[in-house]
Structure 1
């Protein structure tokens, strides 16, 4: 059966069963490793092991005593067995690819006045170009993630960066703000792959106890992008006008696209829950059609041979032998974003984690936008370049928090595993970030009232560093948790995370300006401190309750009476 983890019994069967009775070979996505794979229940790897060959990968210390899962299915050319240098190179490619689209979101901020003048654009149109870019970048991972689970990661990375580079480059040449907005949205839709399925590639290459640091390092890039963008954008605008910011992003995107020609495919169909589900669905449909055809042929044979009665068993055997066995070759028709989205949201630990991550990310976009306005206005009155330098404090704090948070979550997971004598539950990651959670609302309140009272610049800068540090430490551990707790479906879960954070960032960036004008920075960011605290309560519940939820999925929503409500609604219909 597809989706079943190979066992010792299977290995014995693989060597003792004749070749003509083996399961039909299944076509796989293109790629160096994918051509060698046929599905979870393919017997080639097992047979070679039984004959004395070496398996493609060996269980690690963290998995040796664990119940086998789809993530540790034996595969050919296991990415987790690659050299450290190879994996670091791949991680660098992924990080560089994630840096560029996040820079492009606001790299043109210092050139806004030029764009308004040259393209006769209004403030509303400029704001729309920012918020729609964020929304597209958050929504399209829902398409990219299931696509990558069917055709592989590498083709998606290549296509994504090609779309981004072309669209951003053309946007620099047009002379209409509507065309600029449309091209930015298309470019964001393409680049969204880098912010979702990259986490899937990291999960492909690293064991759970190694992922925290690697996810933290990877996520430093999209944190650094928005922080560096105003500084780089200011320099480019002074050197070549607003068009230079678009051309620079297109050039960097093209360089990233070229680098992915040397990217080694990490996707393995045996370890993909989405691929195996699509395979089971397609083969079940094909088997049904095959059986129906056999039944029709038997009826025809009965009708034609009434005058010459023969064994019906023989007829059935001959007919079934002549009908080709069903095969599965994945296509884009097998991509179902809604199915993946629904699967992730059916699990309460995912829902609560996504709400927290969305609030954390939305607060950062609101802060970046309003802080640029605050420090450009009196009494600070900074120019574009200096505003960018001040906002760099937010990114620097975020990078330190992301990397440190990942390191500490890995350490806690490893120590807890030693203490328990088996693999620690993924929820232990979240518990490593409680200290940062306590600091985060206080940092927001500090920023809120230091800028509201126009305190000397040192205090707001320190508060920005603390906000970045205390926000992205828990965010990094939460992202690693989402990857670990969705075994075989990391890309899909991260794509849902991208959607939630993109949606909240879209709303936050749209309302940030009006709210700042209406209530000021003090009340606005005190409000954000309250929202962040609410999100922290949710993620704390996940830390202490989600282990039992994941073990007993049928009662996971019982605490909200969800099942009872659903039954009452069904009865009312």
Structure 2
């Protein structure tokens, strides 16, 4: 008996002494639809052993039938562990970018060069930070999450070791390039993993920590880097990253299961290639196979192997092409959401880059104390991760109840007639205006030399609202493109990182040319512009999604017609 389909087959495994026969009775669940025009009720043939149950008779029965398979067989504790691993994985890229800042003067002094030349290593890092996910995301969607993760962290680990021992500026530039290439792809992969294991109804609580990790790292990175550079030297920063990434790679390789639905389905189908599975997962599968054969359930193994072969035939390796992610920007809804995420990151990175000079001038703080001033944003990211995911899931349940739609937490959900755009955007449209309202007075507060507590409180509000908005919008992107979550997340990361690089580059000139108050007023108005774009998506997004579905359906039918 196949646990997914509830059906058996008539095949007999030699030597197992057990036959798999179809069940003598079955239950068929039919939707409450009327007979086709011109069709009489007498034309409907009902098998004597088949019980017909409509959704109106038993609204919960339909969700329990084989036609609505489990979205994922991973248990709740397994999904929590998987979420922790992908959160830690996505933490490395922004951490590596920000932890480097306090060491720039020391590195420039050791290499007898200017800080401007050292700043070029930041530029190259951010360029790859935007580009790498478009490659790793596509690789993860086509070959599986595990191979992409292991490749990314192997490159990252080697780059960190090289950075810790290199002796030239050229080597520093090249290795920072490779460091970004290795770590940055994990951001797109993390969204793909969350999509594999969580349905839209519960995605918020799993995606929240992953998004918070991305926002938390820039806040605590300078503090860690400042401590290491001050007491152990700047090379200790890269040894620190090498040690923690090496430990992560070992744990991931040994225990993290493959989750890609193109490889293992709902998680119950063992991958054909042993190297795609973790050693723990491989040994468990082998033990389960021997046990099933010993107990005379060999037909289950045959069925799973057959499904694994079918998935492998459908899955073709594609050489990672960054343009695949960029092409998603042709879709109007994706373009709007990604533009807002990018504008949001532009304002946040501009603020983070300006804090050292502003706080140093206004409050006379040293490097270490300035690093501590980033803590409110980090705390806000943690709070947002804990609260906003629950808010997202509550709002999803509220809309499902309002529309009298089934709430599926265990099974995949068809969002065709569900206004997922409104569900995800409602919290954003409440929080985004608050971010703009806080950005506008931030520069004036510093310009008036207000008490240090005031800008720190404003930082906390900005951090909480920014992380919450990013969480909701990242989940929306996955909902809009459920078949390629890593690819669309990579497109978002590309635009986000490159605009953030622009913000970091121009903030100093803006502060000097416009003044602190007007500079942050401009950042607030940029956020207002982004919020206005979201209203467009809120109103017309569902229609655009349906147009895209119909267009893709026509292409699929044309392709099938050509093949036949």
TM range (shorter): 0.7 to 0.9
- Please name the residue that 1:277 is paired with: none
What is the aligned counterpart of 1:341 among 326, 340, 358? 326
- Please name the residue that 1:131 is paired with: 123
- Please name the residue that 1:265 is paired with: 258
- Please name the residue that 2:16 is paired with: none
- Please name the residue that 1:357 is paired with: 341
- Please name the residue that 1:404 is paired with: 387
CA distance in 2, matches of 1:154, 1:500: 25
What is the aligned counterpart of 2:478 among 476, 480, 483? 483
- Please name the residue that 2:532 is paired with: 537
Alpha carbons of structure 1 residues 254 and 422: separation in structure 2 relative to 1, 3 Å: same
Deviations 1:500-557 (A, max 9, x none): 111111111121222223223222211111111111111122122211221123999x
Report the Cα offset of residue 109 of structure 1.
Answer: 2.0
CA distance in 1, matches of 2:256, 2:9: 36
Report the Cα offset of residue 100 of structure 1.
Answer: 2.3
Deviations 1:236-289 (A, max 9, x none): 1122111111110111111111121110000121799xxxxxxxxxxxxxxxxx
Moved more, 429-438 or 359-368: 429-438
- Please name the residue that 1:207 is paired with: 199
Alpha carbons of structure 1 residues 81 and 329: separation in structure 2 relative to 1, 3 Å: closer
- Please name the residue that 2:420 is paired with: 426
Deviations 1:401-457 (A, max 9, x none): 344332212111111111112264221111123221221111101212111222221
What is the aligned counterpart of 1:441 among 405, 430, 436? 436
| 1:452 pairs with 2:447 | yes
CA distance in 2, matches of 1:213, 1:62: 26
CA distance in 2, matches of 1:121, 1:203: 46
- Please name the residue that 2:299 is paired with: none
CA distance in 1, matches of 2:325, 2:483: 12
Q: Is the 8 A contact 2:131 2:322 kept in 1?
A: no
Q: Is the 8 A contact 2:142 2:318 kept in 1?
A: no
Q: Is the 8 A contact 1:210 1:410 kept in 2?
A: yes
Alpha carbons of structure 1 residues 341 and 109: separation in structure 2 relative to 1, 3 Å: closer
| 1:413 pairs with 2:425 | no
CA distance in 1, matches of 2:486, 2:353: 29
Deviations 1:455-475 (A, max 9, x none): 221111111111111222112
SS in structure 2 of the partner of residue 525 of structure 1? helix
Q: Is the 8 A contact 1:109 1:233 kept in 2?
A: yes
Q: How does 1:75-94 map to 2 (within 5 A)?
A: 80-94=72-86
TM value normalised by structure 2: 0.74
What is the aligned counterpart of 2:368 among 371, 382, 385? 385
- Please name the residue that 1:462 is paired with: 457
SS in structure 2 of the partner of residue 527 of structure 1? helix
- Please name the residue that 1:163 is paired with: 155
| 1:221 pairs with 2:213 | yes
SS in structure 2 of the partner of residue 455 of structure 1? coil
| 1:366 pairs with 2:361 | no
Alpha carbons of structure 1 residues 489 and 450: separation in structure 2 relative to 1, 3 Å: same
- Listed as ranges, the gaps of 5+ residues in structure 1 are 1-7, 20-47, 55-60, 273-326, 557-573
TM value normalised by structure 1: 0.73
Alpha carbons of structure 1 residues 333 and 85: separation in structure 2 relative to 1, 3 Å: closer
Alpha carbons of structure 1 residues 373 and 444: separation in structure 2 relative to 1, 3 Å: same
CA distance in 2, matches of 1:208, 1:555: 21
Report the Cα offset of residue 147 of structure 1.
Answer: 0.8
- Please name the residue that 1:23 is paired with: none
Report the Cα offset of residue 330 of structure 1.
Answer: 5.6
Alpha carbons of structure 1 residues 513 and 89: separation in structure 2 relative to 1, 3 Å: same
CA distance in 1, matches of 2:111, 2:60: 59
CA distance in 2, matches of 1:51, 1:156: 42
Q: Is the 8 A contact 2:511 2:519 kept in 1?
A: yes
RMSD value, Cα: 3.3
Report the Cα offset of residue 219 of structure 1.
Answer: 1.4
CA distance in 2, matches of 1:338, 1:181: 25
Q: Is the 8 A contact 1:355 1:535 kept in 2?
A: yes
Alpha carbons of structure 1 residues 533 and 163: separation in structure 2 relative to 1, 3 Å: same
SS in structure 1 of the partner of residue 99 of structure 2? coil
Q: Is the 8 A contact 1:448 1:524 kept in 2?
A: yes
Q: Is the 8 A contact 1:131 1:509 kept in 2?
A: no
Deviations 1:194-221 (A, max 9, x none): 1111111011011111111211111111
Q: How does 1:10-21 map to 2 (within 5 A)?
A: none
- Please name the residue that 1:118 is paired with: 110
- Please name the residue that 1:27 is paired with: none
SS in structure 1 of the partner of residue 335 of structure 2? helix
CA distance in 2, matches of 1:249, 1:383: 24
- Please name the residue that 2:51 is paired with: none
Alpha carbons of structure 1 residues 538 and 271: separation in structure 2 relative to 1, 3 Å: farther
Number of residue equivalences: 453
CA distance in 2, matches of 1:156, 1:477: 25
Deviations 1:359-405 (A, max 9, x none): 111111111111122112x2312111111111111222233234433
- Please name the residue that 2:100 is paired with: 108
Alpha carbons of structure 1 residues 50 and 255: separation in structure 2 relative to 1, 3 Å: farther
Report the Cα offset of residue 65 of structure 1.
Answer: 6.6
CA distance in 1, matches of 2:476, 2:260: 20
